[in-house]
Chains A and B, each alone.
Chain A
Amino acid sequence: MPAVSKGDGMRGLAVFISDIRNCKSKEAEIKRINKELANIRSKFKGDKALDGYSKKKYVCKLLFIFLLGHDIDFGHMEAVNLLSSNKYTEKQIGYLFISVLVNSNSELIRLINNAIKNDLSSRNPTFMCLALHCIANVGSREMAEAFAGEIPRILVAGDTMDSVKQSAALCLLRLYKASPDLVLMGEWTSRVVHLLNDQHMGVVTAAISLITCLSSKNPDEFKTCVSLAVSRLSRIVSSASTDLQDYTYYFVPAPWLSCKLLRLLQCYPPPEDGAVKGRLVECLETILNKAQEPPKSKKVQHSNAKNAILFEAISLIIHYDSEPNLLVRACNQLGQFLQHRETNLRYLALESMCTLASSEFSHEAVKTHIETVINALKTERDVSVRQRAADLLYAMCDRSNAKQIVAEMLSYLETADYSIREEMVLKVAILAEKYAVDYSWYVDTILNLIRIAGDYVSEEVWYRVIQIVINRDDVQGYAAKTVFEALQAPACHENMVKVGGYILGEFGNLIAGDPRSSPLVQFNLLHSKFHLCSVPTRALLLSAYIKFINLFPETKATIQEVLRSDSQIRNSDVELQQRAVEYLKLSSIASTDVLATVLEEMPPFPERESSILAKLKKKKGPGAVSVELEDGKERGELNGGGDRGGDAAIAASNASTPSPSADLLGLRSTAPASGATPSAGSLLVDVFSEAGPSATSAGVNDDGFLRFVCKNNGVLFENQLLQIGIKSEYRQNLGRMYLFYGNKTSVQFVSFNTTVSCPGELFRSTKTVEPLVEGGAQVQQVINIECLTDFIDAPLLNIKFRYGGALQNISLKLPVTINKFFQPTEMAAADFFQRWKQLSQPQQEAQKIFKASHGMDTEVLKAKLLGLGTALLENVDPNPENYVCAGVIQTKAQQVGCLLRLEPNAQAQMYRLTLRSSKDTVSQRVCDLLAEQF
């Protein structure tokens, strides 16, 4: 056991730690720990009152055991007792224990808060600091409630010691981050800002973190900090290395504070005041100049501290994006770092240049470093550096260098680390599409991509190449030729077979003139791959075959033979079997004309945002692809211009049934443009429903909403990642809704966060959910709702979480509709008609006549009307075909009686729906909602 250097107090603890270290096995360790736990337990329970020292020692042992990774379920009370000890070390251990093992046990929290309160008012700076550290370490809401009012006072009081001010500033920051609603800065704002002028550098260093956070949230209230920060920065930058004494770090004056000042300034636009701005530009120039000076020390700490400031200054220059001179200087400086022998600097230079590349002033300057960056991609030994190089190449790519960059990225892909391949593939696909000048290059690139990294080519990538080939008739012949050649390879990736099948099925005729690629040769080539492929690909190939029968009548007999074979027509897979049977029949029954019509070439796809781009955004979060967003025009050219609004994503979200195989023909729905019918057969919808997650970022999804007007339970939303189930119950004007969030993946969702925003007519209370949803797990959230008065807008549920690093954002309408607050009312015919007549003013009635969109089955209709919440009245309407209902809508403000009449017309497949109620808005709303249900 080594000699404990200072403050040796707890020999028993050292012995215990030593014992644990000597344990030969995990079992021995557990045994020793259990023995110790039993010992401590008996000591705590024993009759003899423990003195403070023993208590401290045992609490410290428990802490050690906990930090080893074992559970501790006692000792909290003893730790709390230590807090009120007047011996510093006992108090200190008590606080440490509480900080590490917070227990939300309300009784304890009250005791802890009491002890903290005492220490805060003790006027003993050491005790005050301990208490503040504890609050900052725990940072719970209860603590914020208890102390958020007191701490600002301590922070700005004239007689507070500097060390206490420092702790108070950061303690307040922690509370503000955890519970911003509880920390009210109003009256303190100006005094807090003026801490930037404090004489004590430590106070400024601590306070600036607080000020930066507050400024980023309330920039206007804190904007006076800009000029203060600039003058402070200017004083530091121009000071000699020895001026700041202990705040000089390896000859660099106050590097931490400098970085924080530069960071604070990034919360604001460039200063408007000319003098302030001039001073700041001077500072930035000085920092850039200093980078060129010879180092004052060979220590890495010196250069790190100096460069930390430099990088932060460059961030500020990029943030302002308004000083071309500084931007170009920054770029040159980073260029030097690109070849530095320090890996860290190369890494940071690549990272920083990525943002510089998006500025119009420095884009060209960044491009001059292309060879160095390509070299980094090829030769860096560290994958994280190579990743940065790939990111930078992507960011600096434009029309002038696209071919070079894409070629380099493709060749890098052959040896790229598995961890970054998928992202690389997406990037290559996007660049190829965005900067394609001729389409043959685009097609070549994508096919190469599939050849080199087929496993990492997601569905979106090959869907996209097909969309583009279909929309551009000048590339179709080339595409058919190229894909035909690619398919010659003995081992070719299944994605290649998919593209090949689709393209030859559509455009095989364009190369059929050449005897080397005659129809039969084409067919045999495709069919030679058939047996190695998965079911969805085989399904696609079958569709290609039937297209062949139309394109090349001479292949009909051969293909019919194939379709007729047992392995097709009796295939155990239903989809394959069905296709084989249907296509066989189609080819034998239909006349050439019918066949030609049914199997016509696919119509062009509507222009929409690239599904690949959506996928990359999903992977990297919204910030990562900002370049493309600004740059929509260029992509437009490739797709033939036109609007490229967000309708793609919306179309995708409408497609509720993603089919596993993209149907080549769209046989089952002959109107391919009607994206609204979510039929599994429609190709347009199909293609994008596969791209499911991209839809999640689309506006509000109210798909599920209308399905819940007449029912309370079911699946509200589902995509590839998440399923949201719903269960709700209503009584009078109150409702309770249970939301079940199911993680469909095997990876955990982090930062899972849901918010519900309600229209003013509804009141709700929500419990927050845990920020972590494990793979395969389901979490529940309860929402209580109170209907204050009648309403139209539904509450909005917003869900945010990170999946594999990418931010997911889903907005849904919660199916809370006015009819949920119906109380059924039974009444006789006479009563009904009497009331009906009473409600005869025109605004009290709402009526709709509409076509039946589902069957008119009586039982289904009844079930829906009951589901609406009203009473279904029998023998009231003289016409037995009609339905009448009555109910009262319960809101907090009033009750609204409501009568309903639904008249089906089976012959015309139409309905007439009439609503009467004492309130016009209610009649209209219920009528609108119900009309969508039949």
Chain B
Amino acid sequence: MMRFMLLFSRQGKLRLQKWYTATAERDKKKMVRELMQVVLARKPKMSSFLEWRDLKIVYKRYASLYFCCAVEEQDNELITLEVIHRFVELLDKYFGSVCELDIIFNFEKAYFILDEFLIGGEIQDTSKKSVLKAIEQADLLQEVHTHTHHREKK
């Protein structure tokens, strides 16, 4: 199973973190710091996999963002790489040419999409249609709701 997924920028800013096992906040921070350092130091042509502590790290860079997953010993690295890619596709389809800013300003959406795709570190559905359908249904509910509601004044 996947233990955690991190999205961070080339500048080392964490944009999304999803932990699939109970981990103390302090340890999360430490692991994120350590792993970002390792991954950011790697050069473009290097392999997308590395051993880290007792985990396998699978990462890929999309534009300014690194998608980085930690999986267990018996997990398949290549298919994990495609988990990342499918997640990117889902974000892209939802936001329409997704960029880092979309994830910053709509972080809650990114989490919702991830939850529809992976649960407990395992794939829930690989069909783009199924996942997006779930998200769009939710948005439909939201839009109906926001039109009837007062807009915030600020």
Interface residues of B in 33-65 (CB under 8 A from A): 42-43, 45-51, 53-54
B46 touches A382 (CB 8 A): yes
Interface residues of B (CB under 8 A from A): 1, 14, 17, 20-22, 24, 27, 29, 42-43, 45-51, 53-54, 74, 76-79, 81-83, 85-86, 94-96, 101-102, 104-109, 111-112, 115, 119-130, 134, 137-139, 141-143, 145-146, 149-152, 154
When C-beta atoms are compared, the residue in chain B nearest to A621 turns out to be: B54
Given the known interface contacts A96-B112, A136-B120, A202-B124, the answer about A348 and B154 at a Cβ–Cβ threshold of 8 Å is: no
- How far, in angstroms, from A846 to B61 measured CA to CA in the complex? 75
Residues of A within 8 A of B94 (CB): 5-6
- CB of A385 closer than 8 Å to a CB of B: yes
B105 touches A382 (CB 8 A): no
Kindly identify which residue among B24, B106, B120, B129 contacts A4, using a CB–CB cutoff of 8 Å: B106
* 1/0 contact string of A461-503 vs chain B (CB within 8 Å): 0000000000000000000000000000000000000000000
Interface segment among A147-155, A256-264, A594-602, A631-639: the answer is A256-264
Given the known interface contacts A174-B119, A384-B51, the answer about A246 and B128 at a Cβ–Cβ threshold of 8 Å is: yes
When C-beta atoms are compared, the residue in chain A nearest to B42 turns out to be: A382
A247 touches B126 (CB 8 A): yes
New A-B contacts (15) at CB < 8 Å, excluding given A89-B141, A136-B120: A7-B142, A7-B143, A53-B152, A63-B108, A93-B108, A133-B119, A139-B21, A178-B22, A206-B125, A209-B123, A256-B123, A259-B76, A312-B76, A382-B45, A384-B46
Given the known interface contacts A92-B138, A170-B120, A178-B22, the answer about A307 and B152 at a Cβ–Cβ threshold of 8 Å is: no
- How far, in angstroms, from A308 to B105 measured CA to CA in the complex? 34
A137 touches B115 (CB 8 A): yes
- CB of A171 closer than 8 Å to a CB of B: yes
Most buried by B among A9, A133, A343: A9
- CB of A129 closer than 8 Å to a CB of B: yes
- How far, in angstroms, from A247 to B139 measured CA to CA in the complex? 24
* 1/0 contact string of A581-618 vs chain B (CB within 8 Å): 00000000000000000000000000000000000000
Residue contacts A-B, CB under 8 angstroms, 12 given: A5-B95, A9-B146, A174-B20, A246-B130, A254-B126, A255-B82, A304-B82, A308-B77, A311-B77, A343-B48, A384-B49, A802-B54
Residues of A within 8 A of B106 (CB): 4-5
Minimal beta-carbon separation of A195 from chain B (angstroms):
14
B154 touches A263 (CB 8 A): no
A311 touches B78 (CB 8 A): yes
B120 touches A89 (CB 8 A): no
DSSP class of A's interface residues: helix, strand, loop or mixed? helix
Residues of A within 8 A of B121 (CB): 174
- CB of A249 closer than 8 Å to a CB of B: yes
B119 touches A88 (CB 8 A): no
B79 touches A259 (CB 8 A): yes
A249 touches B138 (CB 8 A): no
Given the known interface contacts A167-B124, A173-B120, A308-B78, the answer about A88 and B152 at a Cβ–Cβ threshold of 8 Å is: no
- How far, in angstroms, from A136 to B20 measured CA to CA in the complex? 9
Kindly identify which residue among B50, B109, B123, B129 contacts A205, using a CB–CB cutoff of 8 Å: B123
Interface segment among A10-18, A505-513, A828-836, A872-880: the answer is A10-18
Minimal beta-carbon separation of B148 from chain A (angstroms):
10
Given the known interface contacts A93-B108, A139-B120, A174-B120, the answer about A308 and B79 at a Cβ–Cβ threshold of 8 Å is: yes
B128 touches A311 (CB 8 A): no
A88 touches B123 (CB 8 A): no
Interface residues of A in 209-257 (CB under 8 A from B): 209, 246-247, 249, 254-257
* 1/0 contact string of A82-112 vs chain B (CB within 8 Å): 0000011100110010001000000000000
Residues of A within 8 A of B129 (CB): 246
Interface residues of A in 6-47 (CB under 8 A from B): 6-12, 14-15, 17-18, 21
Residues of B within 8 A of A205 (CB): 123-126
Residues of A within 8 A of B82 (CB): 249, 255-256, 301, 304-305, 308
Residues of B within 8 A of A129 (CB): 134
- How far, in angstroms, from A269 to B138 measured CA to CA in the complex? 45
When C-beta atoms are compared, the residue in chain B nearest to A309 turns out to be: B79
Kindly identify which residue among B45, B46, B112, B126 contacts A249, using a CB–CB cutoff of 8 Å: B126
Interface residues of A (CB under 8 A from B): 1-2, 4-12, 14-15, 17-18, 21, 53, 57, 60, 63-64, 67, 69, 87-89, 92-93, 96, 100, 126, 129, 132-133, 136-137, 139-140, 163, 166-167, 170-171, 173-174, 177-178, 201-202, 205-206, 209, 246-247, 249, 254-257, 259, 263, 266, 301, 304-305, 307-308, 311-312, 343-344, 346-348, 381-382, 384-385, 387, 621, 750-751, 770, 772, 802, 805
B107 touches A343 (CB 8 A): no
When C-beta atoms are compared, the residue in chain B nearest to A173 turns out to be: B120
A343 touches B54 (CB 8 A): no
Most buried by A among B109, B143, B152: B152
Residues of A within 8 A of B79 (CB): 255-256, 259, 304-305, 308, 312
Minimal beta-carbon separation of A338 from chain B (angstroms):
13
When C-beta atoms are compared, the residue in chain B nearest to A346 turns out to be: B47
B105 touches A133 (CB 8 A): no
Minimal beta-carbon separation of A662 from chain B (angstroms):
33
When C-beta atoms are compared, the residue in chain A nearest to B78 turns out to be: A308
B101 touches A7 (CB 8 A): no
Q: Which 8 A-B pairs have the closest CB atoms?
A: A174-B120, A308-B78, A170-B119, A209-B122, A202-B125, A308-B79, A88-B141, A246-B127
B123 touches A96 (CB 8 A): no
Given the known interface contacts A87-B145, A772-B27, the answer about A206 and B108 at a Cβ–Cβ threshold of 8 Å is: no
Residues of B within 8 A of A201 (CB): 126-127
Given the known interface contacts A17-B105, A88-B138, A301-B85, the answer about A206 and B124 at a Cβ–Cβ threshold of 8 Å is: yes
Residues of B within 8 A of A305 (CB): 78-79, 82
Given the known interface contacts A4-B106, A206-B124, A381-B45, the answer about A96 and B111 at a Cβ–Cβ threshold of 8 Å is: yes
When C-beta atoms are compared, the residue in chain B nearest to A772 turns out to be: B27
A14 touches B105 (CB 8 A): yes
A139 touches B85 (CB 8 A): no
When C-beta atoms are compared, the residue in chain A nearest to B119 turns out to be: A170
Minimal beta-carbon separation of B107 from chain A (angstroms):
7
Minimal beta-carbon separation of A618 from chain B (angstroms):
14
- How far, in angstroms, from A481 to B17 measured CA to CA in the complex? 61
A344 touches B138 (CB 8 A): no
- How far, in angstroms, from A5 to B113 measured CA to CA in the complex? 14
- How far, in angstroms, from A256 to B86 measured CA to CA in the complex? 11
A2 touches B54 (CB 8 A): no
Kindly identify which residue among B22, B81, B119 contacts A304, using a CB–CB cutoff of 8 Å: B81
Residues of B within 8 A of A247 (CB): 126-127
A7 touches B109 (CB 8 A): yes
- How far, in angstroms, from A715 to B24 measured CA to CA in the complex? 29
Minimal beta-carbon separation of B12 from chain A (angstroms):
12
A6 touches B139 (CB 8 A): yes
- How far, in angstroms, from A546 to B51 measured CA to CA in the complex? 49
Minimal beta-carbon separation of A128 from chain B (angstroms):
12
- How far, in angstroms, from A6 to B29 measured CA to CA in the complex? 31
When C-beta atoms are compared, the residue in chain B nearest to A89 turns out to be: B142
- How far, in angstroms, from A11 to B123 measured CA to CA in the complex? 33
Residues of B within 8 A of A9 (CB): 142, 145-146
Minimal beta-carbon separation of A479 from chain B (angstroms):
37
Residues of B within 8 A of A750 (CB): 53-54
When C-beta atoms are compared, the residue in chain B nearest to A175 turns out to be: B120
Most buried by B among A6, A57, A308: A6
B154 touches A15 (CB 8 A): yes
Kindly identify which residue among B29, B47, B137 contacts A344, using a CB–CB cutoff of 8 Å: B47
B119 touches A384 (CB 8 A): no
- How far, in angstroms, from A857 to B138 measured CA to CA in the complex? 83
Residues of B within 8 A of A14 (CB): 105
- How far, in angstroms, from A483 to B105 measured CA to CA in the complex? 68
Kindly identify which residue among A2, A140, A202 contacts B102, using a CB–CB cutoff of 8 Å: A2
Residues of B within 8 A of A802 (CB): 53-54
